[in-house]
Amino acid sequence: MVVVGVAAALLLRSLPLLSTFSLFELWGGQVWQPMRGLFGYAPFVAGSLWVTAVAMAVAVVPAVFSGIYLAEYVSERGRGLLKPLLDLLVGIPSVVYGLWGILFVVPLVRDWIGPWAEQTVGDGLPFWGRTSPSGYGLLSAGLVLGIMVFPLIVAVTEEVMRSVPREMREALLSLGATRWETTKCSVRCVGLPGILAAVVLGFSRAFGETLAVMMTVGNVAQFPSTIFDPVYPLPALIANNYGEMMSVPLYEAALMHAALLLLGVVVVFNVGARLVIERLVRRIR
């Protein structure tokens, strides 16, 4: 009911915009100039998707393997030391991650990763070319966001792997399977749906993150041509502009529609992922 109530409230506040423009004009428009009555959401949606994709590319594989390692190979004493650190990383406020990104990640991309990419790789790889002189951009925000979602995916993966029945591991070991073969079978036969759920949870957190991304992404409404270009995600659009220029007609409705679009993307992705997970569970059974 809370989800329905939030969606209904955003939809009601978006109706003035929806009664003026079609969804094709809004979602396909590439120009955002509220003073001229132009509300194109395409660059913001693309910015959110690209930042989230970079973050998940950075975080998912290391996080899943870290969670498996924590559940299957670390001793009880080691797990007792690492688990509180994971919980601490999950609980750090996003503004702290954003400040850390400004102080460390942005200079790293500007002074080291960018020059290295131009000298050694250049335009040899798709989406990998000229760099941003400021360091603020898609790669910086993706790295910060990937580090933010990393402990969340690790924690959920570790809990999923530890929920695999002990009898299953003992049966596989008694048949001569190695420890790694037992782990692979546990992941493939029992833990895969839960691990996918952890990835979905990380995607939802990454797609809706505001402060840390807003502080490092550059906030330029454009389609990125390289991984170093600044972009402008939907959460940053809402956070930067809500409360300002509300005298402009339809401006508040446009920001409410941006929030509704953000909610809709997360809901659609979660529903689709849930259907995939249920199909995997049926196939495993």
pLDDT tens-digit map of 169-221: 888 888 888 888 888 887 777 778 888 888 888 888 888 888 888 999 988 88
Any idea which architecture 2-284 has in CATH? Orthogonal Bundle (1.10)
Question: How do the domains of the chain map onto residue ranges?
Answer: 2-284
Sign for the pseudo-dihedral over CA of 89, 94, 98, 100? negative
In contact, 257 and 17? CB cutoff 8 Å: yes
Q: What is the mean pLDDT of the chain?
A: 85
In contact, 135 and 207? CB cutoff 8 Å: no
pLDDT of res. 142 = 93
pLDDT of res. 279 = 75
pLDDT of res. 127 = 60
pLDDT tens-digit map of 211-231: 888 999 988 888 888 888 899
pLDDT tens-digit map of 11-38: 998 998 988 888 888 888 888 888 888 8
pLDDT of res. 130 = 63
Q: Two tokens at 240? A: 């930067």
| The model's pTM | 0.85
| Residue closest to 10 by CA, chosen among 240, 275, 262 | 262
Q: Two tokens at 126? A: 């798709």
pLDDT tens-digit map of 90-133: 888 889 999 999 999 999 988 888 777 777 765 555 565 566 67
| Residue closest to 139 by CA, chosen among 161, 117, 167, 168 | 117
